[in-house]
Chain A
Amino acid sequence: MTEQAPALILLIPFLTSILVAMIGIAYRGICWYLALISLAGSVCASFTTLIRVLDEGVIRYHMGGWAPPFGIEFRVDALNALVSIAVSVVAFITLVYSKERVETESPNKVSQYYTLFLLLITGLLGIVLTGDAFNLYVLLEVSALTSYALIAMGPKRATLAAFKYLIMGTIGASFYLLGVGYLYIKTGSLNMFDIQEQIVANDLQQSPTILVAFILITVGLWIKMAFFPLHAWLPNSYAFAPTTSSSIMGPLVTKVMIYVMVRMVLTVFGPVYTFEVLNWNEIVVWLSVIAILASSIGALAQTDLRKMLTFLIIAEVGYMVGGTWLANEAGMTGTIYHIISDAFMTLCVFLFAGIIFAKTNRRDINAVDGMFKKMPMTMIGFIVGAFSLIGIPPTAGFFSKWYLIQGGIESGNWEYVVALLISSLINAVLFFRIIEIAFFGRKPVEGHDHHHGDLHSKICEAPASQLISLWGTAAILLLIGLYNKDIAGIIQDFLLQFNLATGG
């Protein structure tokens, strides 16, 4: 079994999705259980794979036994293994959360929902695991098409948002495909590792074709990850989608795209080409600074809870693009660590937004009015996520910032350091605004000799499935923080081969 683990990670959800599509229509109740079992399998396979990678080094898995460069190769190193764990665990937690919500939000489409959900996860896991640039495109489309559908399941405005996303997503994916085409013309290969070897072997680093391919792929990915100012499709899509859909896409889709960007920079083009031959480091870092600041300020202007969170996702994308182009080990470690920690942070706050929406049926921030009294357990879970986004130790978010700021100081990009700190402070404002409303109620009473009658409302917590998923995420955030040394250690060992700059 363990030899097949890399393939099983995505084959289990893929095959289950077909099963769900076939028998789910007749037996609606069974869908959730099938999906749960399959994702549990996926999580186990991901962990098995990581353990194997740490033991044996890179795993090369040839799909159907065809050897590369002709066959499709899954090339699993520490980077994919870590990200695939994050993806499968986030998917699993969201699924637990979805149990009641899908029944209420899309009552007539339960089996369709789970089919799409599993296909989306299959696509995302495939993107993470594959070692083939064209195969990646196919899976990119698989995940994109399912996301459009998952978003469009929401209320009316979601349909328009999904359409906008479809247009932008297709443009992004086409850019990527075009870029891969250019690479294929020059190198004659679609295997990521092989492309890199061909570029070096044939001394193609000065070739304009490669340059065009690089630009097309990077911009395509920037559109797909909603890097400011290419972000316009994201806020409405995630804010109006069903809460279950936004809880899975908010944390994962952008983060997986960041992974692809890191993979392209490190494996396909190579850090030497990206950082030394092209040397656009300063420009890209400045772009990321603008992205971080603009979207943080954008978040301040929102009154819709989930929309505010979507702007935070965009700001975090800025963190990671900037972190990559700091072009040193600490920055890259921070980026990869942040892929994982941000996935869980975003999940935590989106689950919270979902729970609040489920309880109050309201989207605005004021819906959390008096929640410390009504849902104390939910608020505790939320506070861990909020503290992580602000960057308070020992949550995961603190250590992402720790590595990223370290990278910024080492490369001398002080503007990036300042942007990160300002963004942390803005996050503090954003989340304490919510905490304040939840703590004081929307209209605090004047004077101090009053009896707080209105605040003594009964406790009415979220259903267990939602609470468990929220608390699970919060616990994972603390664990990632406390075990950051080990996770960062895996990432740093992986980065050794690329000879990135270290030290100050």
Chain B
Amino acid sequence: MTDTIISFTPVLAALVSLIAVIPIALLRKKPNLREIATFAAGIVKFLLVLSMLPAILSGSKIEYTLWQILPNMAIEFRVDSMGMLFGLVASSLWIITSLYSIGYMRGLKEHSQTRFFSFFAVSLSATIGVAFSANLFTLYLFYEMLSLATYPLVTHHQDKEARTGGRTYLTYLLTTSIGFVLPALIFVYLKTGSSMDFVPGGFLEGHIGAEAALLLLLLFTFGFAKAGIMPFHSWLPGAMVAPTPVSALLHAVAVVKVGVFCILRVYSGVFGIDFLCDLNLGTIITWIAAFTIVVSSLVALSQDNLKRRLAFSTIGQLSYIVLGMALLTPKGVSGGIMHIAMHAFGKITLFFCAGAIFEATGRKYISQMVGIGKQMPITMAAFFIGSLSVIGIPLAGGFWSKFYLLLGTVEDGQWTMLVVLLTSSLLNAAYFFPISFRAFFCKPEDSQFENKVDEAHPCAVIALATTALITAILFVYPEPFFSLAEAAAAKFTNP
């Protein structure tokens, strides 16, 4: 049996970056000290999350009730294996991203850096809040907080393009969260009369019929539009107007993963795998996800703007996670959860590289990057490792999650989904490999670089090399993410 530990640590882990906003704002005149404050907050946050890891790995849960806000509903935190996995990914990558941000923002002499770092910290608070939410209401609270806190980051440049991107961003995210999730939330609250606590195995069974269940499932799946399931995906390419560190951490890791994380939580903790199985609802979701996977990969092929190609790739990869969960088999679920971590490290590397290229050369388009491998070898080597991971080829961590997803389809005999996953991997290879190939192997006369170009700011290079290294290490040693995903999947499928 699992035992429950009451501890303030999860609250502190979520709040520490929110508190860090105060020193960051106060030190706005001293950029070096301000950045130290960001780092300090990042390291403290990571250590707080890490300190809870042993307990979680041994099968305990950590809980804390912060505030009783409605009768039998509270702002409550609970750390379990899945939340731990996401919390680790987000908090560790924040430290590396901060390093990268410093290089990027200073290299480009961006304005309003204090605002940038402040809202970055707020966003991370919201992300960890989502990861450690104990019930649907707390989850929604932090979900909304994240939408709003990231708006100033997306629109950082304050030009026309940023305004358009920001409008799309908020329109999609707020319309879906207020229009779909909120009524679904209240409906669940009314029908079950419960505290909406996530329990492995769900709590909806017996309270609603099949039609209502289907409707709720769709409301939640599309309502958490941060997951980028088509047709509610357009905000993500639009959000690429943000500075690259934002695209990297928020739109490859924190924000989008919060979307899928919410979906996984609702499937596992509200509906319950068994209930979904009984009503055969998993199939519908797998088809929706499969559609997104194939279409977004095809769209990615046609993009010449590197960041947009990465964005469409992200949309596809997010649906892998949803697909894995919707397979409703232990291997599929654990593959999906693992993919949160594996994709995060791979994709953030790719975004770091895109940003480094932009900072060093000012180029955004893939067609302008022929021959860049000779100029920026470290960056492009990291890019190669990152793309290996996203495609799912050995020597990078992404292999394991994709492998488990494939096992999941076989386990359940879902041959169509197996074909979808394999096709998509081919497409991924088709849109990633040419970039690396033409960067390194091109005839001297084809090269787009006449003059020597240096690598980007050292901070940025260190950051992208680190994430690339972690991606490679995760292939050899996929811990603790492997055990966490396995434990979570075991609990969800066999409550």
Contact = CB atoms under 8 A, between A and B. Distances in A.
Interface of A: 387, 390-394, 399, 401-402, 405-406, 409-410, 417, 421, 424-425, 428, 432, 436, 439-441, 444-448, 450-452, 455, 482, 484-485, 488-489, 504
B14 to A, nearest CB: 15
B157 A448 contact: yes
What does DSSP make chain B's interface, helix, strand, loop or mixed?
A: helix
Nearest to B186: A405
14 contacts: A393-B137, A394-B75, A405-B183, A410-B190, A425-B174, A428-B174, A428-B178, A439-B155, A446-B160, A447-B159, A448-B161, A452-B111, A452-B112, A489-B71
B160 A444 contact: yes
Interface residues of B, number: 36
A387 B145 CA distance: 11
B166 A436 contact: yes
Contacts of A450: 159
Contacts of A485: 68-71
A428 B160 CA distance: 20
Nearest to A504: B190
B144 A425 contact: no
A409 B159 contact: no
Interface string B176-211: 001100110011011100000000000000000000
Interface in B116-174: 137, 140-141, 144, 148, 152, 155, 157-163, 166-167, 170, 174
Given A421-B183, A452-B111, A485-B69, 19 more contacts: A390-B174, A392-B148, A394-B141, A401-B182, A406-B189, A425-B174, A425-B178, A428-B178, A432-B167, A444-B158, A444-B162, A446-B159, A451-B111, A452-B158, A482-B67, A482-B69, A484-B69, A484-B70, A504-B190
Contacts of A390: 174, 178
A117 B187 CA distance: 44
B155 A440 contact: yes
Contact of B183 (A393, A417, A440): A417
A409 B163 contact: no
A207 B81 CA distance: 67
A409 B192 CA distance: 13
A162 to B, nearest CB: 37
B175 interface: yes
Contacts of B189: 406
Contacts of A393: 137, 140-141, 144
Contact of B182 (A421, A436, A489): A421
Contacts of A424: 178
A488 B69 CA distance: 11
B105 to A, nearest CB: 13
Nearest to B68: A485
Main secondary structure of the interface of A (DSSP, over half): helix
A390 B175 CA distance: 11
Nearest to A410: B190
A445 B70 contact: no
B251 to A, nearest CB: 18
B179 A436 contact: no
B158 A439 contact: yes
A394 B170 contact: no
Given A448-B161, A482-B69, A425 B179 contact: yes
A402 B182 CA distance: 9
A302 to B, nearest CB: 19
Contacts of B155: 439-440
A325 B112 CA distance: 50
User: Which of B141, B157, B191 has the most CB atoms of chain A within a 10 A radius of its CB?
Assistant: B157
A181 B144 CA distance: 51
B186 A439 contact: no
Given A425-B179, A440-B158, A402 B186 contact: yes
Rank and list the top 5 A-B pairs by shortest CB-CB distance, nearest first: A448-B157, A393-B141, A444-B160, A405-B186, A428-B174
Contact of A455 (B67, B158, B162, B174): B158
Among A392, A410, A425, chain B packs the most CB atoms within 10 A around the CB of A392
A157 B217 CA distance: 53
Contacts of B167: 432, 436
